[in-house]
Structure 1
């Protein structure tokens, strides 16, 4: 559900239509967009992590990208009652629950960047970037995993996407953890043999899982490097290792489950409808993953049109903003052309 805040009518004439914000855990992209879809300026800043840094500090990070976009557009600094755009369209990581969307909409709205502020989870940006109208389902499998759906009448389908406590499995981080678990048990005899027991430690410069486990536990390997192990898992699976392949297949089945449930909730399971796949794991187009998704989802939703999206999600945030202000189709196409 979108959360919207409004501020008093601006005194500035001829505002740009949309200040689009796409904020993920690792980076934030902002685009200032005119009514005809022209991109007037863009900006980039760091990751958006309210759970770690607090809401106000996280919004400060957004503000750095906003300031860069405004400067690139040649606009003067905003003052009280003088926002940068008619509407802020913000698609944010960590906006997973309605209460989080409300808090973030209030915090961003208080900055005065737009005459109105819409806040959604960042998966909606991926979905809108991959469809011609606000109708369809998207699954993102990057560092984590999430799924959303929408229809033009405003209905949505979504999941809390809070990890195992909300029933989620996988994503790049989750796959790396599962691969380590299987490799550890293979080496000490509790689990079946797998090439992962050799390949994972070798990738990080160790000669055994025991050595790698010690390094991970004592901080000898930076936590961020664990995500590299997802690519190792897929390479081992591609070579035919049954344990690695079982993890990849389970990830595919989880993605199909999320997409089919979202389609069912929106009454789209039997209709011709786009299903957009996004995020680094899916954008890599591993055949063992993506082909299984296509086969299984087509069996459940025969008319679904499955695509992989690689356009920047800030495009989707911008399109959602143009939808909200009633821009003509030509503006949407101009914005798509800008982002390639």
Structure 2
């Protein structure tokens, strides 16, 4: 993948999740030369054609900033590319773009690389949705469809929001136990009560995808002692453990010291009850697993994968880590 014009070669990396999409351009020595951000690129939320357009727009913005450069590698990792058919559909949609021969896969691979370079590893993301991937040194890969309840999944910010609203609705009309979520949920949307939230969702004044905004309220209610919210948090921890331990078993790695990389907005909140539940569960079901919580943006992993694909050195990878972490710190401030 080259362009005969321009200056020093670059690599491009894209990481897209349920809430935002990051794209960066780096020189092969690890220097960060351009970075842009867009909205969600998940085809489950915006459709595959819109996903392809958004990624192309971000890459074009990078190329405007870098000027004409030879392109050594382009690596694109997106939430919602869970099935081989979805990856194939995305590839068909980008066929006319200059970067069409990019490496394309699910965003879990970016999270995995952000947390470890080991060849035996598992990653679980719990953000807007929940998903898991596992890899083994001989090339074996375990992955999941990640299509919600249809494919056996439980959890993630959207699902936590849906379950929280379910409990709050039953608390309000008397079918279920009292919960502070009945007051906390309307506040998230600037409404006065649960009936207003239900009506707004029904008439699509609130998009169904906006249920993910309730996850922080669930965690806050749990920390404040709400029993309903605590049960939801405990159930979420259990599902993270189930995904990681099942993947290790399927890879025949339960008896090995393997990193389990955890990331995504729900995990990244640092909620003590959630993380303690994950630690206890893995200690019981996969005692040799080593938990690594990734707080760096997953674009870091995507960038490292792109640099490695472009043939960058170990020193270049170190420089890229430093530059991207500095950028993230500046954005947070």
Deviations 1:149-207 (A, max 9, x none): 22344322111101111011111110011011111112222222322223323554445
Determine the C-alpha separation between the residues in 2 that align with 1:40 and 1:135. 32
Match among 38, 49, 73 for residue 87 of structure 1 = 73
Offset of residue 248 of structure 1: 0.8
Determine the C-alpha separation between the residues in 1 that align with 2:193 and 2:96. 53
SS at match of 2:239: helix
Determine the C-alpha separation between the residues in 1 that align with 2:294 and 2:308. 20
Matched, 1:261 2:254: no
Deviations 1:256-286 (A, max 9, x none): 1011111222222222221111111100011
Aligned equivalent of 2:224: 239
Offset of residue 60 of structure 1: 1.8
Aligned equivalent of 1:45: 38
Matched, 1:97 2:83: yes
Determine the C-alpha separation between the residues in 2 that align with 1:101 and 1:34. 27
Q: CA RMSD in A?
A: 2.5
Matched, 1:29 2:22: yes
Q: Which runs of 5+ in 2 are unaligned?
A: 326-333
Match among 212, 217, 224 for residue 197 of structure 2 = 212
Determine the C-alpha separation between the residues in 2 that align with 1:221 and 1:325. 44
Aligned equivalent of 1:125: 110
- TM-score, with normalisation over the residues of structure 2? 0.88
Cα pair 2:3 2:71 within 8 Å, conserved? no
Matched, 1:324 2:309: yes
Determine the C-alpha separation between the residues in 1 that align with 2:222 and 2:239. 17
- How many pairs align? 325
Determine the C-alpha separation between the residues in 1 that align with 2:43 and 2:227. 39
- TM-score, with normalisation over the residues of structure 1? 0.86
